[in-house]
Structure 1
Amino acid sequence: MIPKITNWYFSKKALPYWGVLALDCLIVMFSGYVAKYLEVGGLEFAQLFWPMTNGIIISLVFYAVSFRLFRTYAGIIRYSSFIDLQHVAFAAFTGSVLTYIASFALESVRGVNMPDLLGVCAMFFVSTFLMWLERVAVKRMFDGFRAEDATPVAIYGTKAGGISIAFSIINVKVKKYRLVAFITDGVEMKNTYLLGKKVLLNGNGIAEDLKQMGVKVLLVSPLKSELFRKNADMIDEFLAAGIKIMMPSAAEEWDGKTPLTTQNLKEVDIEDLLPRDKIEVNMDAIGALLTGKKILITGAAGSIGSEMVRQVAVYKPAKMILIDQAETPMHTVRLMMAREFGDIESKTIVSSITNKKHMEKIFAEYQPDYVFHAAAYKHVPMMENNPAIAIQNNIYGTRLIADLAVKYGTRKFVMISTDKAVNPTNVMGCSKRICEIYCQSLNKAIVEGKMKGVTQFVTTRFGNVLGSNGSVIPLFREQIKRGGPLTVTHPDITRFFMLIPEACKLVLEAGTMGKGGEIFVFDMGEPVKITQLATRMINLCGAKDIEIKFTGLREGEKLYEEVLNDEEQTKPTHHPKIMIANVREYDYETACQNETRLLEASRSFDDMAIVKIMKEIVPEYKSKCSKYEVLDKTLNAQLMTDILLKINSTH
């Protein structure tokens, strides 16, 4: 019977105002009787019942005026808050004071028995308590009966962030979630209660315990998000248990003051679960560098390039010259600039960086102050099969843009390189290392006065960026849609990952601090095992019976990426995530001769001849799982022969 009544009541939008007022008036009358009984006892209570009733009715008039004054009946009882309870108390107090004052004026009136001071006080406390109890009971009944369809959740975090989320769940009018428990890392809070919900200590088996309690979603406080990302075991445990995870977006930060709601959280993507540290950059220094300047970005339609466009545009440059040979993505960039940065003059140019005449025309016309060079062919297997194109695009294209930057007085040239340039095992990585060599040697030539120019050349190295075109995460998503399998080349393969916006922030920071000639290396954090990444994505999607298939290492692929050469050391900078690599420097004339040899060889499209020259230029380039491994054996044999000849010649 009770569930039927409550369901009938809660199915209505609200109890009518007059109904709330009538209920409160009944409580006041009952409180008056209780107060009088406590004042005079049972015998006199019976004797004075009607005069006493008249006095209570008069008191009720004062209470009704107070209810009107504080509008205690205007709110919806089932959504009552602490403020509503305060208003009830103020109204009861005001009604009691008016009743006590009236008792003096009506003391001699026949047939009216007003409560004395003790009775007024008792009436105030009893009526206040009962009206509070009424509202709390209705609210609890509403939460209990109407939350049956709400999703049971637990909150990770018991400090300000977790409490703010909890209040948003409890006080919201439409119940989407039902709070079941909190999770804490502090032993002192184990098995305590917070907002009436049990606090559980985080540890092995926590996900299974919550699952048995019916929890279907874990809400992560923003104050716990960084710690949560670093706890791989906890993440995998929740995903394996089928409990969804919601946490703040990677790009959003909480100021610690603004009230949080579940709308500030989103169901996680795989990018949100990878461990990383918060990245801070010197906004003022970057702004001073870019504001009001002419900025040229190559590869502007790519994953890194397009994000560079967005981040540079924020600083209000005078003009942006954007170059890429991909027509459709460049059209997207053009629309984005018009939509989001319509006040900035931007030129979107479809062209190849190897088109010398066109690049010369662009530099001559716009004479950019700063160049961010992101254009490159980057897919390892493709470049392994097409070394001539890697030479012509990556190496020759970089040389062409770098030379034009010097010729037309560009202040700074920032080249985006890769961790695959360290101890390269493939054509793509080696091509980027040769680009580094040329830029560094050109900068050295300018500093030493061998080359006339003012351009400072800065190189930045970092690993894989999440969600970039052709990267593993979009590939896995597509494979999951098709029902699997997810293809991983090797069970032990690991990679460093960084979010595209974070990588671009560090590029801008490095470009600001660079004085020329540096190769900046980014701290990529902890490496991620690709099999673990695949497993998490399967669990995140709730997919069933999807296998992980190992296909074997691809040509030129490493098991473990390196950020620094074994023979290299690093120097710290003022930014904790950016270091300077000490690398072997090359003479500019030698670098030019090497590049000329390579370009000429590339026109023959003789893969072996091209790669042989690359290995001679970069001796640490050792092929892996590639047809070019035979060249390493030949070069090693040649090296041993040369050593023996030198030894013999000395005797």
Structure 2
Amino acid sequence: MFLESIFTPTTAKRIGFFILFDILISMATIVIAYLLRFNFFITNTFFESMMQMMMVLIPLKIALFFMFKIYFVAWRYFGLSEYKRLILVHVIIYAVFTGLFFIFYDWFDPFPRSVIIIDFFLSLSFVGFLRISRRIYLESSKKNLQVPTLIIGTNNRAAHVIKSADNGEINHNPIALLSDERSLNGTYFSNLPVYTKSSIVEVVKKYDISSVILTEVLESEALDELFTLLHGLGVEEIKILEMFQENEPTFKDISVEDLLARQPKDLDRISIANFIAGKVVMITGAGGSIGSELSRQVIAFGAKQLILLDHSEFNLYQISEELNNENIVSVMISVKDREALEEVFVHYSPEVILHAAAYKHVPLCEENIKSAVQNNIFGTKNVIDLSITYEVEKFLLISTDKAVRPTNVMGATKRVCELYARAIPSEKTEIVAVRFGNVLGSSGSVIPKFQTQIENGQNITVTHPDITRYFMLIPEACQLVLQAASIAKGGELFILDMGEPIKIVDLAKKMIELSGRDDIEIEFAGLRRGEKLYEELLIDEADFKTEYESILVSQDEAVDYAILSRQIDELRYGHELEILELIVPEFKHNTGETRLKN
């Protein structure tokens, strides 16, 4: 314990250590300076002046080192800025000593003035080397333990990563960089060679790269190609630089969301801000995947007040705590409760309503048809009817691609909601719907399910080898929803451009590849009840482009409102499937399960 306490580093011990060695080094440099000045033979005449120089210069040096906080720099963090300060202090010390020499010339005489210059450079070299020696040792020893790393991108973020690696803050040893700029090929960036991206294969092989860090943003397709190439070259660790926390970089692994993400190129934030800013906005289903992201966006775009409405206590609590804004009101009711819902309209007078409340899971809706009808159809009808009664400026219905030629109850109920939103007469309330496909990472969706199976070491279960789905990131989908609402005039059914559909089996293979595991296989379980092989976004091709390429508008013919209302009312008394098929003639209920062998 005694020896342990002696060798345990403290600030006082560090200061004492440096003072002792500064004294010894200063004595040594003065002796060497005299030896160099007199060809390694100091006469008795000048020996006394050498001792006088030590008596004056060394205390002066220690005092100014304290004054300029040289002794308070941690040994391992002594760097270029600290060395610049050390140079400045030395200039001051030797300038002061020179002044004292001329003031007290008789006391110093005889004194060789050239010794002052010689000792200045000797002291700066030896004292500086002492302080940087530990860092040199630590960095050289750590580089042997750090992972040989290739950095993609030549920017300030890359420079910070290199600096963090040099300081031993991350377990990476940057060896080279790749850049899109051909003019940088053959140059050096933070003392590391720069190559063009086209030479990535040669660079990985030449330097035996084990890790790659991305400091620039790549489109999903380019990122997918890069991942496939690096994985084929045996590079298992591929990191994306996210941010810096307390001056240290944080990284994340490439996720399937990164590879599937589609960034809308015509996102109009000004249009969204003009639509939302200063308004009282109510979001139903505010605690769900879509509702919670809409809530974040609405706050970000400057809503005057945000009413979060959800029947789930846990979901509502989570989004309320996350936003933590004084302009937020949390209302815990169900859209099925018309009386309670009406009180909200009376009390808060919402100007914009974003209706995201719905039961969305196909298998659960198949097992609970009545509940799906009550919540999705009658809940939506309540919100639309009250919006018209209380003259809400704009009502927006969140719909789904499952509403197109539905084969399940959930899709059929959402199609009924689209028809009702289109048919109901409304003079002062603009009623619109936005239809899109799956969003990446939403609760209960296929990606979190696959991820859980991989983490548990289970085989991934896919229903059918040919099944496809559309995907979009939640934030981008919600921004496009708000953008569509901003240009709506009432009666439109907007459709978001979801790109090309993705085969779920390919998604599963990519997630296995990203996990780095080789013990996971894919099993085919067969289509579930209500599930279909592929989703569609259009019932027919009669669609028109809007001013934004990412948003289309469907020419959905309005049905007779009186007939539709009567048919919807009949749903209250049972025979739900028959009535849904009557309202939505294209509804072909898939009641069986198709089992497939592995």
TM bracket, shorter-chain basis: 0.7 to 0.9
**Cα distance, 1:605 vs. partner?**
2.8
Contact 2:567 2:579 in 1 (8 A): no
1:610-625 mapped onto 2 (5 Å cutoff): 610=579, 612-614=581-583, 616=585, 618=586, 623=588
Q: More deviation in 200-209 or 395-404?
A: 200-209
Selected match of 2:120 from 116, 119, 124? 124
Q: Please report how far the alpha carbon of residue 137 of structure 1 lies from its aligned counterpart in structure 2 after TM superposition.
A: 2.8
Equivalent residue, structure 2, for 1:641: none
1:95 matches 2:111:
no
Give the conservation status (yes or no) of the 8 Å contact 2:148–2:174.
yes
Work out the CA distance in 2 between the residues paired with 1:69 and 1:465: 60
Normalised by the length of structure 1, the TM-score is: 0.75
Aligned residues: 584
* Matching residue of 2:307: 320
How far, CA to CA, are the matches of 1:247 and 1:148 in structure 2?
A: 23
Kept after mapping to 2: 8 A contact 1:29/1:56: no
Q: Secondary structure at the match of 1:459?
A: strand
Q: Distance in 2 between matches of 1:197 and 1:538?
A: 34
Give the superposition deviation at 1:382: 4.7
Residue 194 of structure 1: how far off its partner (Å)? 4.0
Q: Deviations over 1:382-438 (max 9, x none)?
A: 556776765554344433432332123222111001233345555543443342233
Q: In 2, distance between residues paired with 1:140 and 1:192?
A: 25
- For residues 378 and 295 of structure 2, the distance between their equivalents in structure 1, rounded to whole angstroms, comes to 24
Find the aligned partners of 1:38 and 1:365 in 2 and give their Cα distance.
Answer: 92
Give the CA deviation at 1:526: 5.8
Task: Please say if 1:343 is aligned against 2:331.
Answer: no
Opposite residue 343 of structure 1, the aligned amino acid is: E
Paired position in structure 2 for 1:113: 111
Q: What residue is the counterpart of 2:173 in the other structure? A: 179
Contact between 2:285 and 2:358, CA under 8 Å: does it hold in 1? Answer: yes
Amino acid at match of 1:142: L
In 1, distance between residues paired with 2:457 and 2:202?
Answer: 27
Gaps of 5+ in 1: 1-7, 447-452, 630-651
Matched, 1:372 2:354: yes
Displacement of 1:245 in angstroms is: 4.3
State the alpha-carbon separation in 1 of the partners of residues 186 and 533 from structure 2. 45
Match of 1:235 in 2: 227
Matched with 1:409 is 391
Q: Secondary structure at the match of 1:100?
A: helix
Counterpart of 2:423, as a letter, is: S
Q: SS state of the match for residue 78, structure 1? A: helix
Residues 422 and 581 of structure 1: CA distance in aligned 2, closer, same or farther (over 3 Å): farther
When residues 207 and 538 of structure 1 are mapped into structure 2, their CA distance, relative to the original with a 3 A threshold, is farther
**Structure 2 counterparts to residues 280-359 of structure 1, below 5 A:** 282=269, 286=273, 289=276, 291=278, 293=280, 295-312=281-298, 315=302, 317-318=304-305, 320=307, 322-324=309-311, 329-334=312-317, 336-337=319-320, 340-341=323-324, 343-344=326-327, 346=329, 348-353=331-336, 359=341
Which residue does 1:585 correspond to in 2? 557
**What displacement does 1:199 show?**
4.8
Instruction: Please give the secondary structure, in 1, of the residue aligned with 2:354.
Output: strand
Cα deviation for residue 515 of structure 1 reads 2.4
* Pairing 1:115-514 to 2, within 5 Å after superposition: 115-116=113-114, 119-145=115-141, 154-171=150-167, 175-186=169-180, 187=182, 189=184, 193-197=188-192, 199=194, 202=197, 209=204, 213=208, 215=210, 218-221=212-215, 224-227=216-219, 230-236=222-228, 241=234, 243-247=236-240, 261-267=247-253, 269-277=255-263, 282=269, 286=273, 289=276, 291=278, 293=280, 295-312=281-298, 315=302, 317-318=304-305, 320=307, 322-324=309-311, 329-334=312-317, 336-337=319-320, 340-341=323-324, 343-344=326-327, 346=329, 348-353=331-336, 359=341, 363=345, 367-383=349-365, 391-422=373-404, 424=406, 426-442=408-424, 445-446=425-426, 453-514=427-488
In structure 1, the partner of 2:489 is: 515
Q: Give yes or no for contact 2:283–2:295 (8 Å, CA) kept in 1.
A: yes
Separation in structure 2 between the aligned mates of residue 46 and residue 571 of structure 1, nearest angstrom: 97
Contact 1:182 1:198 in 2 (8 A): yes
Specify whether residues 110 and 369 from structure 1 end up closer, same or farther in structure 2 by C-alpha distance, changes over 3 A only: closer
Distance 2:175 2:539 in 1: 49
Query: Quick check: 1:568–1:581 contact (8 Å CA) kept in 2?
Result: no
Equivalent-residue separation in structure 2 for 1:278 and 1:33 (angstroms): 72
Query: 1:570 is matched with which residue: 538, 541, 544?
Result: 544
Give the counterpart letter for 2:333 in structure 1.
Answer: V
C-alpha displacement of 1:208:
10
Given the alignment of the two structures, is residue 50 of structure 1 paired with residue 50 of structure 2, yes or no? Answer: no
Change (3 A) 1:84 1:290: closer
Deviation at 1:110, TM superposition (A): 7.4
The alignment status of 1:73 with 2:67, answered yes or no, reads no
CA RMSD of aligned residues (A): 4.3
Aligned-pair distance for 1:458?
1.8
The whole-number CA distance in structure 1 between the counterparts of 2:206 and 2:512 is 19
- Deviations 1:132-177, CA, capped at 9 Å, x for gaps: 33333321102233666666655433211111232234336xx442
- 1:23 equivalenced with 2:32 (yes/no): no
The DSSP-based 3-state class of the residue aligned with 1:158 is coil
Residue identity in the other structure for 1:583: Q
Normalised by the size of structure 2, how large is the TM-score?
Answer: 0.81
How many angstroms apart in 2 are the aligned matches of 1:188 and 1:627?
62
- C-alpha contact (below 8 Å) 1:496/1:525 kept by paired residues: yes
1:412-470 CA-partner distances (Å, limit 9, x unpaired): 1110012333455555434433422331233xx44xxxxxx311012112221222222
Residues 260 and 169 (structure 1 numbering): CA distance in 2 closer, same or farther, change over 3 Å?
Answer: farther
Equivalent-residue separation in structure 2 for 1:239 and 1:571 (angstroms): 40
Tell me the distance in 1 between the aligned counterparts of 2:64 and 2:500.
64
Q: CA deviation at 1:490?
A: 3.5
Q: Quick check: 2:289–2:442 contact (8 Å CA) kept in 1? A: yes
Once the two structures are superposed, what CA deviation does each residue of 1:74-102 show, in whole Å capped at 9, x if it has no partner?
A: 32232102221012111221233234334
Shift of 1:114: 2.9
Name the aligned partner's letter for residue 282 of structure 1: R
How far apart, CA to CA, are the structure 2 residues paired with 1:482 and 1:147? 35
Give matches, 1:27-46, under 5 Å. Answer: 27-36=25-34, 39-41=37-39
- Show the counterpart of 2:575: 605
**Aligned AA for 2:50?**
T
Instruction: Tell me the amino acid that sits aligned with residue 465 of structure 1.
Output: V
Query: CA separation of 1:468/1:74 partners in 2, compared to 1, >3 Å: closer, same or farther?
Result: closer
For the Cα contact (< 8 Å) 2:271–2:483, is it kept in 1? no
Moved more, 267-276 or 382-391: 382-391
Name the % identity: 30
Q: Which deviates further from its counterpart, 555-564 or 538-547?
A: 555-564
In structure 1, C-alpha distance between the alignment counterparts of 2:477 and 2:178, rounded to whole Å: 32
Post-superposition CA distance 1:579-612 (Å, at most 9, x none) = 241413225xx244245346537845374x4464
